[in-house]
């Protein structure tokens, strides 16, 4: 019988897999595709995919970037992962989840407490780092400083003064509608992130634990 990779003991195969898997951060943008690309090793065969999925999703660094309107794509991606991939992702301490919003920084101040609740929620047990950004982008943790020190930021102050003038113009009704829509979208998105990700990911992890 010829000796191949699959005839090696599992311990040796895992060592080989660890050398072949990528070491750079895996950036996944869900606005591009529901099913992001995976390393070539995971596409060799069904057996290698099953054996390497857990290693890949647990030990590789991930930078997950999604728009707040692309939560359904993130949900589909989580659901379609294999059980070993879900387990590995749930125990990955090098995962950064970035949520991008189409809003000005002053709107973020209203939802800082919701983001803190999510960071200290169930996903924090995995060591996930969760942040939200605007289209600039800037991290949500920096938004409060920008908001408090508004007088030190001439561009932001000028933009706000221009916005105040437009409020009294013909576009005031449109501005109010879009502002409310964006505020509701952020509130819904942050709640959806916490509910959907924690429920789908940790529910499947519990199933794996009970199955053992």
- pLDDT for 148-181, tens place per residue? 233 333 444 455 455 445 444 544 555 455 556 6
- pLDDT for 2-33, tens place per residue? 667 677 777 777 777 777 787 788 888 876 66
Domain ranges of the chain: 5-211
pTM: 0.49
Contact yes or no for 63/96 (Cβ under 8 A): yes
**Residues near 190 by Cβ (< 8 Å), separated by ≥ 6?**
99, 111, 114, 115, 118, 132
20, containing H or E segment: helix 10-20
Q: Put residue 77 in one of left, alpha, beta given phi > 0 → left and psi -120 to 50 → alpha.
A: alpha
């Amino acid at each position: 019988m010829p000796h191949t990779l699959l005839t090696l003991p599992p311990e040796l195969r895992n060592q080989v897999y660890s050398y072949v898997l990528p070491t750079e951060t895996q950036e996944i943008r869900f606005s591009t595709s529901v099913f992001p690309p995976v390393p070539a090793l995971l596409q060799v065969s069904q057996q290698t995919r099953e054996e390497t999925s857990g290693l890949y999703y647990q030990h590789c660094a991930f930078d997950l970037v999604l728009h707040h309107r692309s939560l359904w794509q993130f949900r589909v991606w989580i659901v379609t992962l294999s059980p070993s991939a879900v387990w590995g992702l749930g125990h990955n301490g090098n995962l950064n989840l970035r949520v991008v919003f189409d809003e000005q920084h002053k709107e973020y101040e209203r939802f800082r407490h919701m983001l803190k609740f999510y960071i200290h929620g169930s996903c924090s047990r995995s060591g996930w780092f969760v942040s939200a950004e605007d289209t600039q982008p800037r991290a949500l943790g920096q938004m409060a400083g920008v908001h408090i020190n508004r007088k030190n930021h001439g561009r932001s102050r000028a933009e706000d003064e221009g916005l105040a003038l437009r409020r009294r113009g013909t576009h005031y009704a449109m501005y109010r509608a879009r502002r409310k829509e964006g505020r509701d979208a952020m509130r819904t998105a942050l709640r959806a992130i916490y509910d959907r990700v924690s429920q789908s990911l940790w529910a499947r992890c519990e199933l794996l634990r009970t199955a053992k």
